[in-house]
Every structure is written in structure tokens, then in C-alpha cells.
Amino acid sequence: MLEHLAGCPACSDQFRELARVRGAVGRLPAATPPARLSSVLRVVASQERSRLFARKHPFRSLAGQFHLWVENLMRPLAIPLAGGLISALVLFGMLMPTFAFQRNVSNDVQVALFTQPAVKDQNSFALPDEDFVVEVLVDGQGRMIDYAVTEGPSLGKNNELRSAIENKLLFMEFTPATAWGAPRFGKIRLSLHRSLLTVKG
């Protein structure tokens, strides 16, 4: 190259010009890069590395994204959930001794935690030829609160039949439903025939 420059005036002039420019650039003051340039370059490098990894291992990348999503979702809920659970356990432990279970004074042994209402006296109804299925709401004292005919003809136009059914239900004696030995509201289904009462439960 040096032999060529010695024998070629054009290349020799161009080489001297490049050397002069290089020297002038070298004498310029050094520029200080911005402080955030390092962090920006690291972020760009990390994103490029993640992109290349996802291209080579797509399933592992999806699994990692799902794990990160679950972690970001559960982390804000972990402390409130744990606090709520501990509070519920403490309150339940404090209130448990105060629960009073009503004892059954009858001779029957209470074996079920929840019982449905029952009919004490199944008298004949002496109804017309139609059959009815009636759903009766019974309160905690064994009294009928409300009823609804679920099967059978409508009582809207037959006031006499409606009055007969209501009178029978009002004077019928029920055993109320129970929950943990305490009486409560409950529903019972009765099938009413001409001279027969069938409890469907």
C-alpha cells in the first residue's frame, strides 16, 4: 500500500486528507453519554434476548409468561387472603362456644342435622274429583304461612274449592322443619285427593 501511495499522487492526496480529518476528529472533546443510556441499552438487549429465546423455545416461553402472569395476579391477593382466612378462623373459634343447640324434648332421637316439615294429622279432605299438588310454607311454629298449587286446575275461578283447601290447610297441624335442632321455616308438598292426603316432602 505504501509503494502504491508513493507512486500514485491521487491516492496520496486522498490519504493525507483522511489523516487530517482523523487528527481533527481526535482533537475534539470527548462526549459524555447520557446517564440513562446504559439502562436503555440493557432493556433493549434483554428484550432482544427474550425474543430470540421465544423463537427457539416457544413452549418454554409461554410457560414462563403464564407463570409470571399467575405470580403477578396472586401476589397482591396473598396477604389479604391470608388475613381474611386467619380472621375467619379466629372469629369462628370465639363464637363456637356460644352456639346453643336446642334439645329435642320428645321421645324420638334426633339423628339428622336438618329435617323437613311434616304433617301431624292426616285427615280426609273430602275434595271434588280433581287432584292437587300443593306446596305449603310452614313457619317455625308449625303453622301454614302461604301455599301455592303446583299441579292441578287453577283455583282462580273456583272460590268454593279454594276456600275449602285454605280452611283445611289453616287448621292442619304441621311439625316444623329443623336445622341443628332449632325450628325454622320450610316447605312441604302435599298431594290432595278426594279422600286421601299424600305427603311428597
Structural domains in the chain, sorted by start: 44-92 (no CATH), 114-199 (3.30.2420)
- For 26-81, the pLDDT digits (tens) are 888 887 888 888 888 888 888 888 788 777 777 666 777 777 777 777 777 777 87
With bands split at pLDDT 50, 70 and 90, how would you rate the model's confidence at 92? confident
With bands split at pLDDT 50, 70 and 90, how would you rate the model's confidence at 101? very low
Residues 6+ apart with CB under 8 A from 123: 168, 172, 197
- Give me 117's grid cell: 316439615
CA distance 149 to 138: 15
- The residues with which 147 forms a beta bridge, in sequence order, are 136
Residue 31 vs residues 25, 26, 34: alpha-carbon distances, Å: 12, 12, 9
Taking a C-beta distance cutoff of 8 angstroms, is the pair 173, 117 a contact?
no
pTM of the model: 0.38
pLDDT of residue 121: 66
- The residues with which 186 forms a beta bridge, in sequence order, are 138
Residues 6+ apart with CB under 8 A from 149: 132, 133, 134, 155
> Beta strands of the chain (E only): which ranges?
114-115, 118-119, 132-138, 144-151, 174-175, 177-179, 182-184, 186-192, 197-199
Taking a C-beta distance cutoff of 8 angstroms, is the pair 101, 149 a contact?
no
Residue 191 vs residues 16, 86, 197: alpha-carbon distances, Å: 117, 49, 6
CA angle 45, 49, 55 (to 5 degrees): 145
